[in-house]
Amino acid sequence: MAYETILVEVKGKVGVITLNRPQALNALNGQLIDEVNAAIDGFEKDPNIGCIVLTGSEKAFAAGADIKEMQGRTFPGTYLDDKFADWDRIGQRHKPIIAAVAGFALGGGCELAMMCDFIIAADNARFGQPEINLGVIPGAGGTQRLTKAIGKAKAMDLCLTGRMMDVNEAERAGLVARIVPLADLMAETMKAADGIAAKSLPSVLMAKEAINRAFEVALSEGLRFERRVFSSLFATHDQKEGMAAFIEKRKPDFQNR
């Protein structure tokens, strides 16, 4: 597929998607969201790929959903045409997705980063949900995921004032997993992604699913889920290999089965 709004590369066992609408600070229009989904579809199906990286430019991960595209929308048209479903799919994938964020991650851009499994941020990254300044509210999960990530006080502060957080505040608040110098963003992110892709895919997929369960269910049900999945991994070749390799003091040869 020829993409117009993103760049797609395979680097070893990592699929890299770069948002590429520099003239609009990577504003997220419908075409871009469709293309991101198509690229992830390909990576999910490719047995060679063990991790996905989603990134933008040095100036902007993404400055939000495309305001020019949304401007003429109506109620209930916005609700009924369910563009939300296309965004939701990005947060429903099986393989791990790391967001490598530099510059602005605002509105839908912050929401897109939060749909990924964790965020590695450059020291110039800035996060915010400024939709309140446009007469709307976050519409791709911002009121929910941000609140779960950083708590009510800061989520209210950001969503009601529309202010931006710098990267240090975002890390202290728990939104960002790691801060790295801008010049090292892709190298550090690829190091993390390569490391994940080298592990046993079944255990990576199950770890992701189990952690995400924590956001959906009560603790007792989450623990039951974790125990079932933990136990089921003892049916894999890679569990036997991983534990044997530890005892024999050698590197494991995982076969993703």
Residues annotated catalytic, as ranges: 65, 108, 111, 131
Nearer to ligand CO8 by Cβ, of 134 and 149: the residue is: 134
Nearest by Cα to 50 from 19, 20, 16: 16
User: Measured from the CB of residue 119, what is the shortest distance to ligand CO8 in angstroms?
Assistant: 17
User: Measured from the CB of residue 244, what is the shortest distance to ligand CO8 in angstroms?
Assistant: 48
Burial class (CB in 10 A: 0-12, 13-18, 19+), 22: exposed
Which spans of this chain sit near ligand CO8 (rule: CB under 6 A)? 24-25, 27, 63-68, 83-84, 87, 104, 106-108, 130-131, 134, 139-140
User: Measured from the CB of residue 190, what is the shortest distance to ligand CO8 in angstroms?
Assistant: 26
User: Measured from the CB of residue 22, what is the shortest distance to ligand CO8 in angstroms?
Assistant: 9
Residue 68 token pair: 């020019």
Cα–chain center distance at 22: 20
Tell me 28's DSSP state.
B
Residue with tokens 């980063």: 113
Nearer to ligand CO8 by Cβ, of 65 and 207: the residue is: 65
Nearer to ligand CO8 by Cβ, of 22 and 195: the residue is: 22
Phi and psi angles of residue 222, each rounded to the nearest 5 degrees, phi first: -60, -40
201-213 vs 237-247: helix axis angle to the nearest 10? 110
Nearer to ligand CO8 by Cβ, of 65 and 201: the residue is: 65
Q: Which residues contact 82 (CB under 8 A, 6 or more apart)?
A: none
